[in-house]
């Protein structure tokens, strides 16, 4: 007796093909393209430098904290922060909460962006080890 494959098998195959096509498109988007000078350039969609990563992480999590976001209660390690980044974020959140009381949420978010960029630049990404973590003083 011959069994007919379940319908979800075909759907799963279709989903796999769709995911493969999406991956191919995404990879193709990162390929070199000629610039106005005729030389090939590779676009960089995200700043992956230590300073850029630090700025994005701290800014995101600080804003989540002051707005009471769903994941704001995660610990430093779950947020992907180094010890040094966590210490910076702790200070920035305190400053942002004070700013929020005085001038509102929009002003607090601007302060977060400004101070995060400044501190991450000063600390060159603040990526020192996360081993033997101690809470900020």
pLDDT of the residue at 2:
54
pLDDT of the residue at 71:
87
Report the 3 state secondary structure along the chain. Answer: CCCCCCHHHHHHHHHHHHHHHHHHHHHHHCCCEECCCCCEECCCCCCCCHHHHHHHHHHHHHHHHHHCCCCCCCCCCCCCCCHHHHHHHHHHHHHHHHHHHHHCHHHHHHHHHHHHHHHHHHCCCCCCCCCCCCCCC
- pTM here? 0.61
Per-position pLDDT tens, the chain of length 137? 555 554 544 444 444 544 444 444 444 444 444 445 444 444 345 667 889 999 999 999 999 999 999 888 888 888 888 888 999 999 999 999 999 999 999 999 999 999 999 999 999 988 876 555 455 55
């Amino acid at each position: 007796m011959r069994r007919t494959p379940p319908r979800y098998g075909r759907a799963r195959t279709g989903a796999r093909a769709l995911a493969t096509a999406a991956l191919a498109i995404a990879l193709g988007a990162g390929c070199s393209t000629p610039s106005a000078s005729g030389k090939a350039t590779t676009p960089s969609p995200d700043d992956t430098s230590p300073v850029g990563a630090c700025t994005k992480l701290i800014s995101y999590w600080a804003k989540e904290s002051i707005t009471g976001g769903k994941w704001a209660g995660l610990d430093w390690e779950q947020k992907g922060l180094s010890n040094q980044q966590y210490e910076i974020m702790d200070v920035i959140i305190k400053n942002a909460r004070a700013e929020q009381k005085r001038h509102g949420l929009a002003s607090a978010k601007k302060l977060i962006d400004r101070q995060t960029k400044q501190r991450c630049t000063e600390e060159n990404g603040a990526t020192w080890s996360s081993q033997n973590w101690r809470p900020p003083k």
